[in-house]
Amino acid sequence: MTGETQTLSALREAAAEALAAKRGEINAARLRGTSREMYDLMTARELRQLVDEGG
C-alpha cells in the first residue's frame, strides 16, 4: 500500500466515523482529530460520498 493509498484510507475511515456520529450510531463526543473536524464541517451527504468513493 502506498503512502497516498494509506492517507486516503485513513480519511475514509475518519469520514465513516463522522458519518456514524451524524446518524446517531455513535456519540459525537467520542470523535477526535480529523473525524471530529469532518463531523463539524461536512454534511452527512458529503461524508457518505467520501466513504462511498472507497468502493
pLDDT band at 40 (very low <50, low <70, confident <90, very high): very high
| DSSP-derived secondary structure for 7-48 | HHHHHHHHHHHHHHHHTTSS-GGG--HHHHHHHHHS-HHHHH
Percent of all residues in the chain with a pLDDT value above 70, rounded to a whole number? 95
pLDDT at position 55, please? 59
Q: Quick one: average pLDDT of 3-7?
A: 85
pLDDT tens for 12-36 read 999 999 999 999 999 999 999 999 9
Burial bucket for residue 53 (CB in 10 Å: 0-12, 13-18, 19+): exposed
Contacts of 36 (CB under 8 A, 6+ apart): 18, 28
The predicted model scores a pTM of 0.87
Cα–Cα distance measured from residue 19 to residue 48, given in angstroms and rounded to the nearest whole number: 7
